[in-house]
Every structure is written in structure tokens, then in C-alpha cells.
Amino acid sequence: MTDLARQLRARVRLFALINAGAVLSWRGGEVLAAQFQGLAAGAGFLMSGIGLALWIVSAIILTGQVLHARKAGVFDLFKDAFARQLHRDALVGAAAGAALGYALALAVIGAGAGAGTERLTLPVAGAIAGFLIAWVALDVRRHK
């Protein structure tokens, strides 16, 4: 693997992890703001705003790094057979993240209270973060 490939892969991994944390912060802050009042709601709004801003920036940079790697011919995260297998393997992390998000949603929101969209927020965020974290872990393991 060339130096350019190592650098780009490291940047893609970094911004994938930042993206995962940002999604969790953004959506978790939304749930905090909706479910609690007072200081917890204010902290939820702040957490949500920071998470959303970080998610937008990291998504833009992540997309740029992936496109740069594709243009340079170093690797292709969409059409490469290795990348497709990596994506399939990372779906296990998405399922685990969704399950953890659902359990957390039941604990925070409760089984009967809250709107349906609030109950889906944490499992969807967990699935996205779980996929990205699993993808990075598998990619690191396969490219040592």
C-alpha cells in the first residue's frame, strides 16, 4: 500500500469515527431536549447543535476524502469487491447499534410514552454509528 493510500485510508477512518460520534450526539441531544426540562433540556439542545454541526462538517470532509481516493485510483469504497464485502460485514455492527439504541430509547422514553419518531431516533442513530464503527474496526483489522 502506498503512502497516499495509507494517508487517505487513515483520514477516511478518522472522519467515519467522528461522523459516528456526531450522529450519536446530534440525535441523543434531540431526545434529551424532548424528554427532559430545565438544565437537561438546555444541555440536550447544545449537544444536538454541536453534533449536527460536526456531522455536517465531517460528512463533507469524509465525502471529499473518499472521492479523492477514488480519483487517485488508490481505493474505491463503492465499487471495489473488498469494500462491498467490508460493508456487508459491518452490517452486524449496525444491527448491534440499533438494538442498543432501541434498549436505550425504551429506558429513556419508556414503552408507552413519547411519539413514534422519538422512539426511532436512537435506534437509527445507533445503527448508523454501529455501522461506521464496525466498518472502521474491520478496515483496521484487514489492513494491518
Q: pTM here?
A: 0.86
- Residue 30 and residue 41 in contact, taking contact as beta carbons nearer than 8 Å: no
35 or 90, which is more confident?
90
Render pLDDT for 80-136 as a digit per residue (tens, 0 to 9).
888 888 888 999 999 999 999 988 888 877 765 555 677 788 899 999 999 999 999
Domain count, the chain: 1
Q: Which domain holds residue 47?
A: 3-142
Residue 25: CB atoms within 10 Å:
22
Residue 50: CB atoms within 10 Å:
14
Provide the grid cell at 38: 430545565
DSSP codes of every residue in 75-127 = --TTT-HHHHHHHHHHHHHHHHHHHHHHHHHHHHT-SSSS-HHHHHHHHHHHH
